Amino acid sequence: MERAVELTEQLIADGHKIRFIDAGGGLGISYDSSAPVDFHDVARRYADAVTQALQTQALQTVEEPRPHLLLEPGRSIIASAGALITRVLYQKQNGTKRFTIVDAAMNDLIRPSLYKARHEIVPVVQKQKAELLQADIAGPICESGDFLARDAMLPAADPGDYLCILDAGAYGMSLASNYNTRPRAAEVLVEGTRAWLVRRRETVKELLRPETACL
């Protein structure tokens, strides 16, 4: 912000009318539930850092309208509010490598494949004294990049069990696609013990509709 303000002041001194100063993003979250981040403390320190950089004499004396401040802290607000629920299909062994195949795939959450991001995964139903096993959590798409976690330590899961992939609120549906002719997942809004379907699951018929206009 200090560098952006310095550049803004130089441009204003050269006679340019600056309408916006964009602080960008950069306010992240903790992807480890064992080390939670105090969002209110982070937001306060973030706001202090941004506003202090703007308190320069040159900016204070700029004629109205002064530059408008833009912020992009969206991931810090929404990432932890969303989760991807997936069902275990089967277990697979390849030599010493173990795979847990689930019905979600890289088209539903591409961050692990695209950015090597690590999302914590937990069983929806906790099993008492379940043995922890190391496995890749992989989808059903025939792609080497179709994984949701590498070498995850999770309790042994049986076909039909459900897993919860945490912190998928920011770049889950917004980066989802229909790759491999896969309909995008439904979205459910949960508040306490109540739930609403806010986006229904797509159908294959809907995916093919743009291609059938010529028939």
Q: Which residues are catalytic?
A: 142
How far apart are the C-alpha atoms of 26 and 70, rounded to whole Å? 13
How far apart are the C-alpha atoms of 55 and 184, rounded to whole Å? 46
Give kind and range of the element (H or E) at residue 9: helix 2-13
Helices (H) and strands (E) in the chain, counts: 6, 10
Q: Facing residues of 121 across strands? A: 165
* 73 token code pair: 């802290």
DSSP for 18-46? --EEE--------S-TTS---HHHHHHHH
The amino acid at 92: K
In three-state secondary structure terms, 4 is helix
How far apart are the C-alpha atoms of 119 and 166, rounded to whole Å? 6
